[in-house]
């Protein structure tokens, strides 16, 4: 609309000037002066319109931010909540019952399990079996409906969320990177970290070499969500962030899925290094990811149906882990055929 008005105004001014000149009512100098003045004014009007448009957009975005800020928190700290101190990193689910929203059927019903401090545990099972919900409850992204979740004997619902999550490092399947430099993205785990500490974390995550090959090195901007990096490079940056955080509890959520074999090998090597000396919980659909772990929990419809090391679970030929292993290795055993009567 604004553009149309400006074009109509331009046409009118130019037409009027030509008509006056043609009728002998204005000299060429008058016409030149009028047109020059108009085009200068037109440029300023266009700039004003541009800024007004952006101002309107900014006001709309600000209104949305105010609306979001005014929404109540899903989980709030209790009035008596205090900082949690995690040393050994023992995680315990004590008779936990958990519903999503208003669902009548609980996902977990009287679930009890203990992960010892420093233990490396894999969570496997079909999609929707309860693996991801398990780690969400550890972080207290939801509150349990019954029972309790404790870390080193401390109920997570009595801890401040900031202190709890500051001591849990997470590497997700799709790591969240910001349109900042590689150094800034790694240092997000510990603001104020020195350049030497950032580079040490990158070396441990097998990320330093590819960063050093970039023209601007650690000052390279990664783009929104890290679009300028490959999937394997984004994962290594996320692992470097976890190394820098040096948290006593580590959660790896499908960290090697959808990667080529070379990237997977580098990331698996970095993950093995990262898991040393801390409690590590690994969610995996690809069983190759959990083959070196101390213990594997097999989930099915919110229940832990198998619990043991890899050799023990493989020895159970009728177990769910063995069926998953056979399916992924291509050695699926014959299933009984069902024939309609």
Q: Radius of gyration over alpha carbons of the chain, in Å?
A: 30
For 228-252, write each residue's pLDDT tens digit. 888 788 888 888 998 888 889 999 8
For 245-300, write each residue's pLDDT tens digit. 888 999 988 766 656 666 677 777 788 888 888 999 999 877 877 888 999 999 99
Q: What percent of the chain has pLDDT over 90?
A: 30
Predicted pLDDT at 256? 63
Token pair listed for 33: 């002066």
Nearest to 202 by CA among 179, 185, 177: 185
Token pair listed for 10: 């331009």
Token pair listed for 149: 């979740």
Higher pLDDT, 158 or 44: 158
Strands 120-125 and 91-98, by their bridges, are unpaired
Nearest to 299 by CA among 125, 108, 107: 125
| pTM passes above 0.85 | no
Q: How confident is the model at residue 138 (pLDDT cuts 50, 70, 90)?
A: very high
Q: Which residues pair with 124 in a beta bridge?
A: 298
Predicted pLDDT at 108? 92
Mean pLDDT value across the chain = 84
Highest-scoring range by mean pLDDT, 36-50, 73-87, 249-263: 73-87
Nearest to 185 by CA among 239, 230, 232, 139: 239
Secondary structure class of 173 (helix, strand, coil): coil
Q: Check whether 331 has a pLDDT greater than 70.
A: no
In this structure, are residues 107 and 302 in contact, taking their beta carbons and an 8 Å threshold? yes
Range scoring the smallest mean pLDDT among 12-16, 64-68, 159-163, 190-194: 12-16
Highest-scoring range by mean pLDDT, 42-46, 143-147, 284-288, 319-323: 143-147
Question: Can you tell me the distance from the alpha carbon of 139 to that of 133, in angstroms, rounded to the nearest whole number?
Answer: 10
Sequence-separated (6 or more) residues with CB below 8 Å from residue 96? 108, 110, 111, 112, 137, 144, 146, 147, 148, 149
In this structure, are residues 206 and 267 in contact, taking their beta carbons and an 8 Å threshold? yes
Mean pLDDT within 122-148:
91
Token pair listed for 269: 């090597």
Nearest to 188 by CA among 198, 196, 200: 198
Predicted pLDDT at 341? 30
Predicted pLDDT at 8? 74
Q: Which residues pair with 249 in a beta bridge?
A: 168, 279
Question: Can you tell me the distance from the alpha carbon of 207 to that of 125, in angstroms, rounded to the nearest whole number?
Answer: 30
Long-range contact pairs involving 108-114 (C-beta distance under 8 Å, separation at least 24): 108/133, 108/144, 108/302, 109/302, 110/146, 110/147, 111/147, 111/302, 111/303, 111/304, 112/147, 113/297, 113/304, 113/307, 114/90
Phi and psi at 5, nearest 5°, equal -60, -45
Predicted pLDDT at 289? 79
Q: 256: exposed, middle or buried (C-beta count within 10 Å: 0-12, 13-18, 19+)?
A: buried
Predicted pLDDT at 152? 94
In this structure, are residues 124 and 304 in contact, taking their beta carbons and an 8 Å threshold? no
Predicted pLDDT at 69? 81
């Amino acid at each position: 609309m604004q553009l149309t008005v400006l074009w109509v105004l331009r046409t009118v001014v130019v037409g009027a000037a030509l008509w006056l000149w043609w009728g002998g009512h204005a000299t060429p100098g008058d016409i030149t002066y009028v047109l020059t003045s108009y085009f200068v004014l037109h440029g300023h009007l266009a700039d004003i319109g541009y800024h007004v448009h952006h101002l309107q957009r900014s006001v709309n975005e600000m209104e949305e931010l105010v609306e979001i800020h005014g929404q109540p928190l899903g989980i709030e700290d209790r009035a008596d909540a205090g900082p949690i101190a995690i040393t050994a990193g023992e995680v315990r689910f004590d008779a936990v019952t958990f519903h999503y929203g208003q669902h009548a059927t609980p996902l977990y019903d009287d679930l009890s399990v203990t992960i010892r401090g420093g233990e490396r545990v894999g969570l496997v099972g079909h999609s929707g079996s309860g693996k991801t919900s398990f780690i969400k409850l550890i972080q207290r992204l939801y509150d349990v409906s019954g029972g309790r979740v404790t870390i080193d004997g401390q109920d997570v619902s009595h801890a401040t969320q900031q202190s709890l999550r500051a001591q849990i490092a997470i590497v997700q399947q799709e790591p969240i990177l910001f349109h900042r430099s590689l150094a800034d993205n790694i240092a997000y785990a510990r603001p104020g970290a020195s350049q030497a500490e950032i580079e040490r974390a990158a070396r441990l995550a097998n990320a330093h070499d590819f960063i050093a090959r970039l023209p601007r090195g650690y000052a390279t901007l990664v783009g929104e969500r890290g679009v300028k990096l490959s999937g394997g490079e984004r994962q290594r940056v996320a692992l470097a962030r976890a190394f820098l955080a040096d948290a006593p509890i580590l959660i790896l959520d499908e960290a090697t899925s959808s990667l080529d074999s070379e990237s997977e090998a580098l990331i698996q090597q970095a993950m093995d290094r990262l898991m040393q000396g801390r409690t590590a919980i690994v969610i995996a659909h690809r069983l190759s990811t959990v083959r070196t772990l101390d213990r594997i929990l097999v989930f099915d419809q919110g229940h832990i149906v198998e619990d043991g090391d890899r050799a023990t679970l493989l020895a159970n030929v009728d177990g769910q882990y063995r069926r998953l292993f056979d399916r992924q290795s291509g050695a699926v055993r014959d299933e009984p055929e069902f024939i309609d009567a």
